[in-house]
Amino acid sequence: MLDPSQHLEWGYAERTMPDQSSSGDRCLVLAFPDGALLAVIDGLGHGGEAAHAAECALEVLNAHPRDSVLSLMRRCHEALRPTRGAVLSLAQLHYADHAMTWIGVGDVEAVLARATPDHAAAEKEFLLLRGGVVGSQLPPLYAGVVPMIPGDMLIFYTDGMQSLFCESLDHLSQQSPQALADDLLRRYGKTSDDALVLVARYRGEGEP
């Protein structure tokens, strides 16, 4: 899928834990004129209460997508206090600056695979996560800023995914974001937990 400005191509895949009717793993990609907000949320536990916590976070993010990621994390923390809480990672793309600001609390992990010429081994950067629970125990917050170039691939994944796939991104990253998300879930998704993977490729000024 493309955002309206065609700066970003993205896709996601999710799986609900067996014997559960709803998943606590949710994601969001929300474009605005000069950027986009991406988020993956994992409500604590499983089932309806986990899904409710994730939905509360989504409501906040949908209402304030252009706030800083620090402000968004604090807003989510306040909104999730009545719930069981969640872990959450965010990225905000700034198209004019060709940059991304990202932040994570808990164990929703993210990796940025750098675009390279001639299919060379991709340089990878990993999101620095702070331990805690949004809605319960918010740690001191830290947001990182990284430059972006066309072709860079950003992948968020919950703890229902095995992280082994990070070793083979050089091969897999040649797929479209949706095909890659589907492939990663099929190959590395656990059956013992909800699982979700969100993949986004930065296209710069709408390069094909």
Kindly report the CATH number assigned to the domain that includes residue 34. 3.60.40.10
| 207 domain-assigned | no
| 6 in Cβ contact with 198 (< 8 Å) | no
* Spatial contact of 93 and 35, defined as CB atoms under 8 Å apart: yes
Question: Which pLDDT does position 167 carry in this prediction?
Answer: 73
Structural domain for 102, as ranges: 8-202
User: Which strand (E) or helix (H) includes residue 100?
Assistant: strand 99-105
Structurally, the chain folds into a number of domains equal to 1
Q: Do the domain assignments include residue 173?
A: yes
Per-residue pLDDT of the chain (208 residues; tens, 9 = 90+): 877 668 999 999 999 877 767 888 999 999 988 899 999 999 998 888 999 999 999 999 999 999 999 999 999 999 999 999 999 999 999 999 999 999 999 999 999 988 875 545 568 899 999 999 999 999 999 999 999 999 999 999 998 888 777 776 765 557 899 999 999 999 888 888 889 999 999 998 654 3
Q: Given the structure tokens 């409500």, which residue do they identify? A: 43
